[in-house]
Amino acid sequence: MERLLRFLCVSLPRGALGTLIGVGVVINVANVAGRYLFNAPIVWAEEILVLIMVACVFLGAILVTWEGQHIRMDLVSTRFGKPWRQLVLALDTVVFLLVCGFVVRHSWSFVQILYETGQKTVVARLPAWLAHATILAGFAGMLLVVLARLRNYLSGDFGGNPASAPAIDAEPSAGGADGKPRSHDTEAT
């Protein structure tokens, strides 16, 4: 089960990201060459590049969620003792799950409507549901990751990853995120 989960939430998004970025680079180079060398730009290139960028953001969010690397506003909560920090992490996790569930539910409905109506993108004429399905995939992936790694999210421990939130058992530090004192934390001598 762990291997399947790691494949779905790490390997598959990582492979898709690499492929999409590669395709984006090829399209961009071809468009620049067409525009400046042959005075014949690729009309649909800009639209496809935007769709690729959106897909990369939402697929990348799955990887960020797996590693527990989302940006946190934890300036105050890292100073809390164990019970308060645990409460903040639990609340953070519940809100994360609720937001992901909300977006998945509504995105699924929207993708269904686009699929049923056969709507297409403006220039490239791609099925519009395909473009919007990347948002659904990203939030569904994040939801799956948080549920699968619920213990990590509740403890704040993601396997010793230095950039992740401090574990519940870690004592609050007076220094920066790396534990080293900040310049304004030390007294002038």
pLDDT digits (tens, 9 = 90+) for 17-33: 999 999 999 999 999 99
pLDDT at 188: 42
Supply the angle between the helices 45-67 and 12-37 in degrees, to the nearest 10: 150
Q: Please report, rounded to a whole number, the percentage of residues in the chain having pLDDT higher than 70.
A: 84
How far apart, in whole angstroms, are the C-alpha atoms of residue 167 and residue 78? Answer: 9
Q: Residue 80: its pLDDT value, please?
A: 83
- 154-182 pLDDT, tens per residue? 888 887 654 444 444 545 444 444 444 44
Burial 143-169 (b: 16+ CB within 10 A, else e): bbbbebbeebbeebbbeeeeebbbebe
When the pLDDT of each residue in the chain is averaged and rounded to a whole number, the result is 86
Q: Give the other-Cβ count within 10 Å of 61's Cβ.
A: 20
Q: Whose CA is closest to 50, among 70, 83, 27? A: 27
Statement: residue 185 has pLDDT above 60: no
> What confidence tens digit (pLDDT) does each residue in 29-73 have?
999 999 999 999 999 999 999 999 999 999 999 999 999 888 876
pTM (2 d.p.): 0.80
**Element containing residue 174 per DSSP (H, E):** none
- Which tens digits make up the pLDDT trace of 79-88? 888 888 888 8
Reported as a single tens digit per residue, the pLDDT across 76-131 is 777 888 888 888 889 989 999 999 999 999 999 999 999 999 999 999 999 999 99
